[in-house]
Amino acid sequence: MRNYLLLTPGPLSTSQTVREAMLQDWCTWDKDYNGGIVTPIRKGLLAIAGLDENEYTDVLLQGSGTYCVEATIGAAVKPTDKLLILANGAYGKRMAQIAGYYHIDHVLVSLHETELITGEVARRALEENPGITHLSMVHSETTTGLLNPIEEVAEVIRGKGITFIVDAMSSFGGVPIDMKKLDIDFLVSSANKCIQGVPGFGFIIAKREKLMACKGVARSLSLDIYDQWETMEKGGGKWRFTSPTHVVRAFYQAMKELNEEGGIAARYERYKKNHRTLVDGMRAQGFKTLLPDASQGPIITSFLYPHAGFDFNAFYAALKQKGFVIYPGKISDADTFRIGNIGDVFPEDMEKLLEAIRDTDYK
């Protein structure tokens, strides 16, 4: 049924049953939709994250993941606050762009794209920049495939009264994150990543007290996460503006399939097997990974060009012809391409990809 297998960081390949869930129409004010789909999604997100509804809540928001990151920064960081952004890729730097647009007092600590954001990086940045009230960072930086140790950063800021904002766009649902233990205040993710839905909305999971403090702070009507949350709470799942109904129904099915697979832990194991199968097979063919195994996450893997005359566009086209779509590189000082390990993808799919690569004239 597929035209090709998407091996990208998102959108990603979805199951046929998730796609089939979009074949019906839904009324946005009807209880069958708001009470039967939206509300269970909100409860289900907290459940798979292992969070207590009395302490945590969540809000769904139309748009891509960046909309949700912007909405969170724009509502959680007041004009009197100071934001520290730790970045080692395009998506961390995008947070700084957002802060600039909102005229937020902020500091960007930008590392090399292959350098991890460690606890020591956070500690040094806080020492050099007094008055920090908020800290934001990306967990899985898909620019390269790095998985940043948010546990180390959480330990550094513990007890300092700093609000912790984590972009878990391409990790939530596929990598275990103990939000309560790490004392994360806002966690942002998207429908079309590890939960394996389709693009169209994202979500913010937050401590209730921190979301309550966002009332009246947002600089945007559409991106006011407090107002969106309050409308959903009072309206039993009602969205303020037109809900992406088909996408939401697909996400409901995707969450069901996540639970049937065994939850986040089971999906994490599958993604790790996908990654290991891919890396072992690519190395056997002479390819080298950009990152050392110690800093590599299981979400997406960057490979160096095999030689100076390598034609990525021809390589890409040849693989697409064989039913596989990969991704160009994004790092600034090395020629790379990326292959995603997430979505409705299994180790046997990686074996087929490796066979296709062996049959491709890239040498």
Our separate counts of H helices and E strands in the chain read 13, 14
Residue 131 near residue 82, CB atoms below 8 Å: yes
Of the candidates 195, 193, 349, 173, the one whose C-alpha atom is nearest the C-alpha of residue 278 is: 349
- The mean pLDDT value for 263-275 works out to 98
**For residues 134-151, b (16+ Cβ closer than 10 Å) or e, as one string?**
bbbbbbbbbbbbbbbbbe
Residue-level pLDDT at 236: 96
Residue-level pLDDT at 362: 78
Residue-level pLDDT at 330: 82
With 80 as the cut, is the pLDDT of residue 114 above it? yes
Percent residues over pLDDT 70 in the chain: 100
Q: Using CA atoms, how far apart are residues 298 and 270, in angstroms rounded to an integer?
A: 9
pLDDT digit string, tens, across residues 41-88: 999 999 999 999 999 999 999 999 999 999 999 999 999 999 999 999
Instruction: Scan for tokens 């100076």, then name that residue.
Output: 308
- The mean pLDDT value for 224-252 works out to 97
Residue-level pLDDT at 10: 84
Amino acid symbol at 327? Y
How many angstroms separate the first and last alpha carbons of the chain? 32
* CA distance to 25, 51, 187, 204, 338, per residue, from 207 (Å): 33, 10, 9, 10, 35
Residue 61, judged by CB atoms within 10 A of its CB (0-12, 13-18, 19+), counts as buried
pLDDT digit string, tens, across residues 127-161: 999 999 999 999 999 999 999 999 999 999 999 99
Mean predicted lDDT score pLDDT of the chain: 97
Residue-level pLDDT at 210: 98
